[in-house]
Each structure stands twice: as structure tokens, then as C-alpha cells.
Amino acid sequence: MPSHKSIGRLSLYRSILNRLLRDGVNSLFSHELASLAGATPSQVRRDLMVTGYTGSPVRGYDVRDLLASIGRFLDAPESEGVALVGVGNLGRAIMAFFTGRRPSLTIQAAFDRDPYKVNRVIHGIRCHPMEDLESVLVREHVRVAIITVPAIEAQDIADRLCRAGVKGILNFAPVRLRVLPSVFVEDVDVTMSLEKVAYYSRQGNRAEGI
């Protein structure tokens, strides 16, 4: 199975290729894609090999064919429904961000405990009450979920998601979730990332002797 980094780069190649296509670029070479993605040409060739696409040594990669090949590899055969739990500021931004963006991945249900949000449609997505979490997920065969609740609630929500059959969680809460090994968790900790950037921004200055 390809590495996590390789899967991440395939997703990045796709967003780069989509932009190139919009700009009228129809083909490119592995070293060009590598340079745009901050990768090496041999990484690019190895990453793309798992999708079964090789391109032509003379004309390089055909952008449309390569996009289709990455799509067949990365995406579910049919559009995949995603649940989002926690319709606060960050949750709403994620909902707005994904609306209409990825045809293969759609946030199809949101959950919150706030009675002012429940049973409303926000950014085109219905917000259900928290107590309906399990029943909606099972009924709609949702296996991917996004957690945007406060840290203190995240483990409880993760437990409920896993019991309802969820197999992949994108976790924005600053807490390490304990889940079964069969469930994949990716953490996005915005505070941690910003603190890291701030820390290294000062180290760089010190290293330069300022």
C-alpha cells in the first residue's frame, strides 16, 4: 500500500493539475509537476505508478488522462458522503469550503447540539440533532467524518462515530483520539501549526544573528 505521504501528494498533484487545466495547460513533464509540488521527479513518477498511469517519454503527461487516473485511484467508485460533527465557526467554514468543491466527497450531514442550528440547512447541508448521529450515519452509509467539536467532547464523538461504522476521521480537535486500528484518523491542529510557525519564525531570526 502506498505511504501516507504518497497519498497526500497524489491529492496535491490533482489540485495542481486542475489549476493547470483551467489555465489551458494540457500536458507537462514529471520534473515540471515535481517542481510545482515541491517533490522530486522520481517521487512524482513513483507516486503516479500506483495509479497505473505512465505518460509518454516524448510528450510527458496528458493532464486530463492523469487527472482521471488519479481520480480512479483516490476516489470511491461513487460519490462518498461525509458527516461533520460540530457546527461552530470552524465547522461552518469547513462546510462552506467543501460545498460544491469535490464531486467525489460531499458533506451530506452535519450535527450539533445547539437548538438554533438543528434542523436548519447551513451551506446546503442539513444540521441534525446530536442524538440522531448513529441513526443518520447508519441509514446514509456514512463512513467518513469530520470532527469540529471542542476538545473535551471529541473522544465521546469519536466513540459514537466508530460504533456507527465510521472508518476514517478528520479531527480538528486538539486531542489525540483513541480508536480501533481499523479506523484511520488524520489530525489537523490549527493552533499547534500556528504556534510552530511562530516559534520557528523567531529561530530563523536568531540564526541570522538579528
The nearest distance, CB 111 to its own copies, in angstroms, is 17
- Backbone φ and ψ of 169, nearest 5°: -130, 130
Residue span binding its own copies (CB under 8 A) among the ranges 12-20, 56-64, 112-120, 131-139:
12-20
Cell of 58: 516524448
Q: Taking CB under 8 A as the rule, does residue 50 contact its own copies?
A: no
CA distance 5 to 26: 26
CA distance 15 to 100: 15
Cell of 157: 464523538
Which of 65, 131, 156, 186 contacts its own copies by CB under 8 A? 186
Which of 52, 78, 89, 103 contacts its own copies by CB under 8 A? 89
The nearest distance, CB 144 to its own copies, in angstroms, is 5
* C-beta closer to its own copies: residue 62 or 80: 80
Q: How many residues does the chain have?
A: 210
Residue 7: enclosing H or E segment and its boundaries?
helix 4-22
* C-beta closer to its own copies: residue 56 or 97: 97
Q: Taking CB under 8 A as the rule, does residue 21 contact its own copies?
A: no
- Tell me the H-state helices in 38-189: 41-49, 63-74, 89-98, 133-139, 151-163
The nearest distance, CB 130 to its own copies, in angstroms, is 21
* 189 CA to centre of own chain: 13
- Backbone φ and ψ of 206, nearest 5°: -65, -45
Strand, coil or helix: what is 104? coil
Task: Name which of residues 141 to 170 contact its own copies (CB under 8 A).
Answer: 143-144, 146, 151-152, 166-170
Residue with cell 529561530: 203
* C-beta closer to its own copies: residue 56 or 138: 138
- Backbone φ and ψ of 109, nearest 5°: -150, 140
The nearest distance, CB 90 to its own copies, in angstroms, is 5
Which of 93, 131, 135, 138 contacts its own copies by CB under 8 A? 93
Binding residues (CB under 8 A) for its own copies: these are: 1, 4, 7-8, 11-12, 15-16, 19, 36-38, 74-76, 80, 82, 89-90, 92-94, 96-98, 101-102, 105, 143-144, 146, 151-152, 166-170, 174-176, 182-186, 188-205, 207-208
